[in-house]
Amino acid sequence: MALVDMAVYVDGRRTADPTSLDETYELLRERNGMAWIGLYRPEPSEIRSVAREFNLHELAVEDTIAAHQRPKLERYESTLFTVLRPARYLDKTEQVEFGELHVFSGKDFVVTIRHAETPDLSKVRQRLEHNPDLLRLGPEAVLYAIIDQVVDEYAPVVLGLENDIDEIEDQLFQGDPAVSRRIYDLSREVIEFQRATHSLVVILSSLETGFDKYNVDLELRRNLRDVLDHVIHIVERVDAFRSLLNNALTVHTTLVSQRQNDEMRSLTEASLAQNEEVKRISAWAAILFAPTLIGTIYGMNFTHMPELHWYYGYPAAVALMFGLSVTLYLVFKRRTWL
């Protein structure tokens, strides 16, 4: 349903529950109060209907239809167009889900257009309806309450991100190979959260500069400043999360390099040990090759071979084999192959 909740308020109290946009417009004109129209993923035709009734600027209307806008505050004559990025932490997937909320606030109307599940504006409406003195202050009070709800819903997100970072710190020193991907995904969420919270500081500061010009109620000014203080505190914590994740990525890179160096050192040591074994085997093979070669040649028993029938041929051959083997042994020993 695009039409979530619509009401006409007079002197801070709900006086009508219209069932259509046209009925809302008619009751607003009759009772001369304030209309609050809540829409959820409306059709372009519904947005344009609201735009015609309240004379909304075409650029703001196009932004609302297109969605995917950055957080901002723009003033078109007597109408404020505010874009907020609410967020919620999903425990099941350990991820941050970002939404988008557009708020048009004028002299006698507020139009809220949600493009996601958050924030829960029913809580905002109930809170204001139980506080007529605040609701009596008009659209400015509604905008304040909406921003306050968005900021309140940031608190679980901050706690969820903090818990994720603690888990990452444990994973780093456990050698979990999936930690690099988790650091990357969490960094993207933190950056997105930074954009939302930093922009909210700008939005609230812009509202503060217009307090005197638009005669904003003193109590409402205090409330908005209190929200600004909370946002600044959240911004500081989120900035710290960004630094922690950058440090975690650096530590992870260092640990990976250290493990790679250890592996390379182990491989090098193993290779050197293998080389030593190969040298020993090669040395003994060469030592055994010399007598084997001599024995093989003289074991061929050809008729016409030098010294074959020599009386001292056998002891000479044995002495030659022994002498070559000893010589090769001494040579390899000197070169530390043995």
Sequence-separated (6 or more) residues with CB below 8 Å from residue 320: 294
| The model's pTM | 0.75
At 80 the pLDDT is: 94
pLDDT at 54: 95
Residues 277-289: tens digit of each pLDDT: 777 777 777 767 7
CATH match of 3-257 with 3.40.50.10860: no
For residues 143 and 80, the answer to whether their CB atoms sit within 8 Å is yes
User: Which residues of the chain form CATH 3.30.460.20?
Assistant: 3-257
pLDDT of res. 308? 62
Higher-pLDDT residue of 103, 326: 103
The answer, yes or no, to whether residue 153 has pLDDT greater than 60, is yes
pLDDT, one tens digit per residue, over 98-136 is: 999 999 999 999 999 998 888 889 999 999 999 999 999
| Cβ neighbours, 10 Å, residue 12 | 18
Q: What rounded mean pLDDT belongs to the chain?
A: 85
Buried b (16+ CB within 10 A) or exposed e, 235-247: bebbeebeebbee
- Which pLDDT does position 189 carry in this prediction? 92
pLDDT tier at 298, thresholds 50, 70, 90: low
What is residue 309's predicted lDDT score, i.e. its pLDDT? 66
Q: Indicate the range of 72-76, 159-163, 296-300 predicted with least confidence.
A: 296-300
Please list the residues that pair with 36 across neighbouring strands. 7, 110
Find the mean pLDDT for residues 14-31.
91
Give the dihedral sign, CA 322/328/331/333: negative
pLDDT the model gives residue 183: 87
Question: Where does the pLDDT of residue 152 fall: very low under 50, low under 70, confident under 90, or very high at 90 and above?
Answer: very high
Alpha carbon distance 119, 154 (integer Å): 10
Q: If pLDDT is split at 50, 70 and 90, which confidence band does 307 have?
A: low
Judged against a pLDDT cut of 60, whether residue 1 lies above it is answered with: no
Look at residue 312 in the predicted model and tell me its pLDDT.
67
Question: In this predicted model, what pLDDT tens digit does every residue of 160-176 receive, in sequence order?
Answer: 999 999 888 888 777 77
pLDDT of residue 325: 77
Domain with CATH 1.20.58.340 in the chain: 271-334
User: What does the pLDDT read at residue 266?
Assistant: 75
- Give the pLDDT of residue 184: 86
Range with the poorest average pLDDT among 1-10, 74-83, 129-138, 223-232: 1-10
pLDDT in the model for residue 274: 76
- Higher-confidence residue of 46 and 326: namely 46
Predicted confidence band of residue 88 (pLDDT cuts 50, 70, 90): very high
Q: Provide the pLDDT confidence category of residue 49 given band limits of 50, 70 and 90.
A: very high
- Is residue 31 within 8 A of residue 10, CB to CB? The reply is yes
Alpha-carbon distance 270 to 276, whole Å?
10
pLDDT tens digit string along 216-266?
Answer: 888 889 999 999 999 999 999 999 999 888 888 887 777 667 777 767 777
Q: Is the pLDDT assigned to residue 21 strictly greater than 70?
A: yes
Q: Which CATH number fits domain 271-334: 2.60.40.650, 3.30.390.50, 1.10.3720.10, 1.20.58.340?
A: 1.20.58.340
pLDDT at 303: 61
